[in-house]
Amino acid sequence: MENDPKVIIAENIKKYLNKNKMSQKTLAEKISLRPSTVSDYLNYRSKPSHGVIQKIADVFGVHKSDIDTTFKYENTQEPLIIKEENEEKKHTMLLM
């Protein structure tokens, strides 16, 4: 359950709520959601969309990867894939 994105996101939102001394209700108001929706996120019942994660990050003044750590993995993987594709093209060109 530790690697479940819902759990990771919820725990990070809780961390920033505490750090900023903000209530769930205030966060919900700032991102134009019902308090029950924020409660669902924090109790692992649902996962916020990428757009909502960005809004939450904006409220706390952090990167969305600070809320959803999978963004960090996606961002570090992408350049590696591009590099591999370029290496493949070099090898293909050398063989021709």
Over residues 12-45, the pLDDT tens digits come to 999 999 999 999 999 999 999 999 999 999 999 9
Domain containing residue 22:
5-95
Structure tokens at 28: 């919900």
Please give the average per-residue pLDDT across 79-93, as a whole number: 44
Would you say 68 and 12 are in contact if contact means Cβ atoms under 8 Å apart?
yes
Is residue 93 predicted with pLDDT exceeding 70?
no
Which parts of 1-96 are beta strand (E)? none
Burial of 12 (0-12, 13-18, 19+ CB in 10 A): buried
Is residue 85 predicted with pLDDT exceeding 80?
no
Is residue 1 predicted with pLDDT exceeding 80?
no
Residue 3: count of CB within 10 angstroms of its CB: 8
Taking the whole predicted model, whether its pTM rises above 0.75 is answered as no
What is the number of domains present in the chain?
1
CA distance linking residue 70 with residue 12, whole number of Å: 12
Q: How confident is the model at residue 86 (pLDDT cuts 50, 70, 90)?
A: very low
Mean pLDDT over the full length of the chain? 82
According to the model, what pLDDT value does residue 69 have?
A: 87
CATH number where 56 lies:
1.10.260.40
Would you say 5 and 70 are in contact if contact means Cβ atoms under 8 Å apart?
yes
According to the model, what pLDDT value does residue 83 have?
A: 42
